[in-house]
Amino acid sequence: MRLLKQLFARARFHRSLIAIGVMSVLAGCLAIPDGVEPVTGFDVNRYSGTWYEVARLDHRFERGLSNVTASYSVQDDGTVKVVNRGYNLDDQSWDDAVGKAAFVGAADVGYLKVSFFGPFYGAYAVFELDKQNYQYAFVAGNTTSYLWLLSRTPTVSDDLRQQFVDKITTLGFDPTGLIWVDQSRNSAAVSATPPS
């Protein structure tokens, strides 16, 4: 009987360790790199709509994709629908990924959690934003391996590119690893659209 109690106690202890480990991993996915401060005064309704990915650090979810866009729309329950789209040159086709985002804390702070895979979320921290016109945003993930420069237009000025590089360098990101995303297909589509 004593041995049986010891076995149950060990099993409970191991389950607790596993639960703590899982919670730690999930919490780590929502952490943000040192020095990265999410913007305040964030307005998710103004942030909604389509953004063009101008630059990113390489990661497996977008590897090989060009002409990448991210579209955000606020849902009735307060979450944000996320649709990422990119052109896969190998397949000669468009790839779409649909996910959802929710605020980690206050709704006026640019710090969200994003999920494309069920219960697993990753950090999404807007740390630089054109608050006047919502025309560009610098976004980080949970580590210095995840980084994006987003714009409302397929291309940006050299000054904005340099501002991005300077800012991320001071925060410990590696600017030599940046991929400047080919947006030629989207640029052609934008140019062909008549002004409204």
State the Cα–Cα distance between residues 124 and 134, nearest whole angstrom. 17
Pairing mode of beta strands 147-151, 65-74? unpaired
pLDDT band at 17 (very low <50, low <70, confident <90, very high): very low
Regarding pTM above 0.95, the answer is no
Q: In 3D, which of 126, 78, 70 has the Cα closest to residue 101?
A: 78
Q: What would the two tokens of residue 73 be?
A: 């729309």
Q: Which has more pLDDT, 120 or 83?
A: 83
pLDDT tens digit sequence for 130-182: 999 999 999 999 999 999 999 999 999 999 999 999 999 999 999 999 999 99
**What local confidence, expressed as pLDDT, does residue 25 receive?**
36
| 154 φ/ψ angles, rounded to the nearest 5 degrees | -65, -25
Q: How far apart are CA 112 and CA 38, in angstroms?
A: 9
**29-38: average pLDDT:** 93
Residue 146 in contact with residue 54, Cβ under 8 Å? Answer: no
Instruction: Return the pLDDT at 1.
Output: 54
Count of Cβ atoms closer than 10 Å to residue 195 Cβ:
3
Distances (CA, A) of 28 to 20, 119, 138, 146: 12, 14, 21, 14
pLDDT at 46 over 60: yes
Q: Please tell me the predicted confidence (pLDDT) of residue 15.
A: 39
Residue 86 CB partners (closer than 8 Å, separation 6+): 53, 62, 65, 66, 67, 68, 69, 94, 95
Select the CATH number that applies to the domain covering 44-192 from these four: 3.10.580.10, 2.40.128.20, 3.80.10.10, 3.30.2420.10.
2.40.128.20
